Structure 1
Amino acid sequence: MKLYELIKDVAETKLPDMEITGVTSDTRTELPAGGMFVCIKGKTFDGHDAAEKMLEKGFAVVVTERDLGIERQIIVDDTRAAFPLLCAAWFGHPERELTLIGVTGTNGKTTITTVIKKVLSQFGCKVGLIGTCQNEIGDDVYPTARTTPEPYDLFELFRKMADEKCDYVVMEVSSQGLEQRRVAGCRYKVGVFTNLTQDHLDVHGTMENYYQAKKLLFGISDNAIINIDDAYGRRYAAEVSCPVKTYSVNGKADFRGDDVLLSASGVKYVFSDGKSKHNVSFAMPGLFNVSNSLAVIACCEILGFSVDKTIKAFEDIHGVRGRAEIVPTGRDFTVICDYAHTPDALVNVLTAIKDSAKGKVKCLFGCGGNRDRTKRAPMAAAAADHADFLIVTSDNPRNEDPNEIIKDVLEGLKGKDTPYITIPDRREAIHWAVHNAEKNDIIVLAGKGHEDYQILAGGVKIHFDEREVVAEALAELDK
């Protein structure tokens, strides 16, 4: 691609027009001579420091935020914002060939995006999905490293989706992805907000910063769908500039869920949009899944699909991996795997389960290492308030000592009378839970959900699928 074509939406230059062989912001990327290197300042490394070296390696031009006193530089105000625009241009602007739907919030993103994809697919649309668990193009599944991919990976994926004739792309848009401008250049037909609870404060510092990061989605959306049962959602509804539709469970909103009936197998309620009412049956338990299904109905209506049609499509949807997922045991107790890794998410899933439990609800959970320490004690307090027994263990300890993480967690149990046991090794903890299960117990494995790995010291990632670990423990019972 010619330089001038590549940078026309980003910058001007007096450099001669030349053929560019690729675009990267990673010093480790090997490109044929003639590539473009974008200097981005990160937490531990500043790409500007490598600019001259990249030219020596054969790169044709560097994009910088300041005059480095070197030849073949193009100066822009913000290289982090420029990089995704350059990636979009490099791949021929595939985002303009797709109808984008973005979902942001602390909890519920994966459920909502997955269900939207399933519903639109039932309508005969070809849909791409980008999210925490995996990326999908139609029925094909691709691995993912981040909820919202880095810009080059994102636009490369968009290109593939456009080439494979996707009509829609529904994606989870993380606060970090928004703050780091990974989705710059994207325009969303619909932006959905679920809720905002304590998470990622190790990145954002304060809840206000976290709020403002999420808010960026609505500056690049044509329509907003906002949960006003959430206090931050009510702020968004008053502050964002694009047209807003609201949803609420038993509250005054554009899309509302009334007369809710909860059970272990799902939820039933009466949907109302002020024009009509419809009975809804959604096979995922918990009040929070009433909220999630309302977001799906609202999104599909904005896309032009009738409420009747969307609700009918719910009949063929029976859950999402790692979200209140029942793990088969063939026993007189139940094991449920859920991604809940924030206090609010833990309250939601435990409340949903306890409402219909015949026996004890036992919660196995831990907290991630090298992440927000301030949510560890609240996680324990939330679990203690909504479960009958706790098994405190590891999650992804990373470079922290699991015992030190557990010590922080146990601060939240002071003054609580919920019995508990600590077992730092998560595999051992799951085995203990299964071996000590009693009739009608519900064992909730919280925090890992869809993940099939653990991250240990030094960033070492080991295979760890809780469904397999449960199967191992059950097999031991048969010996």
Structure 2
Amino acid sequence: MQLLQNILEGVEVLDIKGDVKVPIDTITFDSRQVKEGTAFVAVRGVQADGHEYIPKAEEARASAIVCEALPDVLQQDIAYVLVGDSGEALGKMASAFYGHPSKKLNLVGVTGTNGKTTSVTLLHKLFRELGYHVGMISTVQNQINENVIPSTHTTPDAVKLNELLAQMVKAGCSYCFMEVSSHAMVQKRVAGVQFKGGVFTNISHDHLDYHKTFDEYIKAKKLFFDGLPKGAFALVNADDKRGPVMVQNTKADIHYYALRKAVEFKGRIIDNTIQGLHMEVDGHEIWCKLIGAFNAYNLLGAYGVAVLLEEDPVETLTVLSSLSSAAGRFDYIVSDSQITGIVDYAHTPDALENVLTTIQQIRNPTQKVITLVGCGGNRDAAKRPLMADIACRYSDKVILTSDNPRFEEPQAILEDMQKGVKPLDFKKTLSVLDRKEAIKTACMLAEPNDIILIAGKGHETYQEIKGVKYDFDDKQVLREMFKQLGK
């Protein structure tokens, strides 16, 4: 429990009506969670405006209401705080309420279109192997050392984020590695959070349903680096042409990693096979379990972070060579008849192309590549034909199917994807609406030594249809079909 005046530390307050010495024991932006002792922050969101729920918060006897516009009638027993940006206020209040936990950790954020989850997973595993207590916040799961906490968003809301960070501090963590999404930046979820460093992986076409233009998406990512403090580090992929743009206005110390350029953290792929990567990193040769050029970048980024955090380079590379990737990232199984099934989260054009070019590099000339891909509903529709085109370009057979249709009609999503199939590719493309049937079809088409890529859902163990999440695990279904078909 803290006094309201204490948790308003650092918040730009325009006006106060009522007693700021009122005790606060919870902060929320959800009016359904309000009770006596709660500070309700009215945040203007995408789906709803929290200001519309101020009457409900008053009725539930909130102790304080933080908002951008005061109600016409004020309740005598409630403290009202007028702010310019309630989203930013929520972040700063949450940080103060939980004792500024980010200042007690070496917190490193990773942002970019692809590679965020693998990067933070590698860093979490690396620093655990190096002997530290470590936290992780990711799309797949959150972790405090080996304790797994389910994840609902790439970056949690400001209250949940600071609660998690506080739990990490209590558990003795000295490091935390977290994904920072573009949505989180725009929605000020990391306001009040202090980062030791930030990593930029890459940027490509994604989330235009939310950001509307690619330029706005780039600006959202750049906000993260604009906010890094002096003395922090910004580690940027120099091979991405927008890397330097990210750090144009940062106060942080800028460092670069690359495969194609001579920079501070330089890597080179010597060999790339289904067994893993043979690389040279800063003059040292290593074998890694991860596969593909995109993972070479993830490994390089993790290496750069460790060195910038003053870990020994050779020991770091030794540990990295033993690590595996995150769940659902180039996650493969081999059937009894030697068909390789790869499950990958690739749900953007760039990610799909990365995975398929990697498969092309490691396949032998006699192996057919069968790609199964879908696109999520209520998301950026512009990428749907691009995904289908990329699948056709790099595959011998393509099956278009459902991903998470959410509240869209699956057939309409498929029709959007079909627009990307060129006339020459019609014969090798099938559309199978039911995802389980589509996986079965892929297995039926595959012959010994062929490669099946099941793209889009990766680690997810559900399929979301009309607001309901049904159990569905691509890897498990793939195993079942191999067994059912005797393959």
Structure 1 and Structure 2 fold alike (TM over 0.5): yes
CA shift digits 1:399-449 (9 cap, x unpaired): 111111111101111244371111010011111112332011100000011
Asked if residue 18 in structure 1 is aligned to residue 22 in structure 2, the reply is: yes
* CA displacement at 1:378 relative to structure 2: 0.6
Number of residues paired by the alignment? 473
For residue 60 of structure 1, what is the aligned residue in structure 2?
63
Q: Which stretches in structure 1 are left out of the alignment for 5+ residues?
A: none
Letter in 2 for 1:74: V
Letter in 2 for 1:137: I
CA shift digits 1:227-272 (9 cap, x unpaired): 1111111322444332110111121222111353221222122222
Indicate which of 95, 99, 109 corresponds to 2:106: 99
Which whole-Å CA distance do the structure 1 matches of 2:37 and 2:291 have between them? 55
Q: Aligned with 1:475: secondary structure?
A: helix
Asked if residue 408 in structure 1 is aligned to residue 383 in structure 2, the reply is: no
Q: Aligned with 1:226: secondary structure?
A: strand
Which whole-Å CA distance do the structure 2 matches of 1:310 and 1:363 have between them? 36
Letter in 2 for 1:376: R
* CA displacement at 1:136 relative to structure 2: 0.7
Asked if residue 463 in structure 1 is aligned to residue 471 in structure 2, the reply is: yes
For residue 156 of structure 2, what is the aligned residue in structure 1?
149
Alpha carbons of structure 1 residues 415 and 254: separation in structure 2 relative to 1, 3 Å: farther
Which whole-Å CA distance do the structure 1 matches of 2:425 and 2:439 have between them? 22
On the 8 A contact 1:237/1:246 being kept in 2, the answer is no
Deviates more, 1:389-398 or 1:253-262: 253-262
CA shift digits 1:11-69 (9 cap, x unpaired): 374632121232111011143x1321111112332221222332232112211112323
Where does 1:356-375 land on structure 2 (aligned, <5 Å)?
A: 356-358=362-364, 359-375=367-383
On the 8 A contact 2:225/2:247 being kept in 1, the answer is no
Where does 1:76-475 land on structure 2 (aligned, <5 Å)?
A: 76-221=83-228, 222-258=232-268, 260-272=270-282, 277-358=283-364, 359-417=367-425, 419-457=428-466, 459-475=467-483
Alpha carbons of structure 1 residues 211 and 416: separation in structure 2 relative to 1, 3 Å: farther
Which whole-Å CA distance do the structure 2 matches of 1:106 and 1:134 have between them? 18
Which whole-Å CA distance do the structure 2 matches of 1:156 and 1:331 have between them? 49
Q: Aligned with 1:218: secondary structure?
A: helix
Asked if residue 476 in structure 1 is aligned to residue 484 in structure 2, the reply is: yes
For residue 28 of structure 1, what is the aligned residue in structure 2?
32
Which whole-Å CA distance do the structure 1 matches of 2:479 and 2:174 have between them? 40
Which whole-Å CA distance do the structure 2 matches of 1:42 and 1:172 have between them? 21
Which whole-Å CA distance do the structure 1 matches of 2:53 and 2:248 have between them? 44
On the 8 A contact 1:377/1:408 being kept in 2, the answer is yes
For residue 51 of structure 1, what is the aligned residue in structure 2?
54
Tell me the TM-score normalized by structure 2: 0.94
Which whole-Å CA distance do the structure 2 matches of 1:207 and 1:107 have between them? 15
| Aligned-residue identity in percent | 38
Q: Aligned with 1:188: secondary structure?
A: coil
On the 8 A contact 2:69/2:82 being kept in 1, the answer is yes
Alpha carbons of structure 1 residues 215 and 369: separation in structure 2 relative to 1, 3 Å: same
Which whole-Å CA distance do the structure 1 matches of 2:87 and 2:4 have between them? 19
On the 8 A contact 2:225/2:249 being kept in 1, the answer is no
Q: Aligned with 2:403: secondary structure?
A: coil
Q: Aligned with 1:231: secondary structure?
A: coil
On the 8 A contact 1:61/1:73 being kept in 2, the answer is yes
Tell me the TM-score normalized by structure 1: 0.95
Alpha carbons of structure 1 residues 245 and 416: separation in structure 2 relative to 1, 3 Å: farther
Deviates more, 1:48-57 or 1:224-233: 48-57
* CA displacement at 1:293 relative to structure 2: 0.9
CA shift digits 1:347-375 (9 cap, x unpaired): 11111112121301111000011110100
Q: Aligned with 2:165: secondary structure?
A: helix
Alpha carbons of structure 1 residues 259 and 160: separation in structure 2 relative to 1, 3 Å: closer
* CA displacement at 1:381 relative to structure 2: 1.1
On the 8 A contact 1:225/1:295 being kept in 2, the answer is yes
On the 8 A contact 2:288/2:322 being kept in 1, the answer is no
Deviates more, 1:441-450 or 1:45-54: 45-54
Letter in 2 for 1:113: V
On the 8 A contact 1:282/1:314 being kept in 2, the answer is yes
Q: Aligned with 1:68: secondary structure?
A: coil
Which whole-Å CA distance do the structure 2 matches of 1:271 and 1:57 have between them? 59
Q: Aligned with 1:413: secondary structure?
A: coil
Indicate which of 28, 41, 47 corresponds to 1:38: 41
Which whole-Å CA distance do the structure 1 matches of 2:424 and 2:101 have between them? 54
Alpha carbons of structure 1 residues 91 and 241: separation in structure 2 relative to 1, 3 Å: closer
Q: Aligned with 2:335: secondary structure?
A: coil
* CA displacement at 1:328 relative to structure 2: 4.5
Q: Aligned with 1:403: secondary structure?
A: helix
On the 8 A contact 1:393/1:423 being kept in 2, the answer is yes
Which whole-Å CA distance do the structure 2 matches of 1:217 and 1:474 have between them? 44
Which whole-Å CA distance do the structure 1 matches of 2:63 and 2:295 have between them? 52
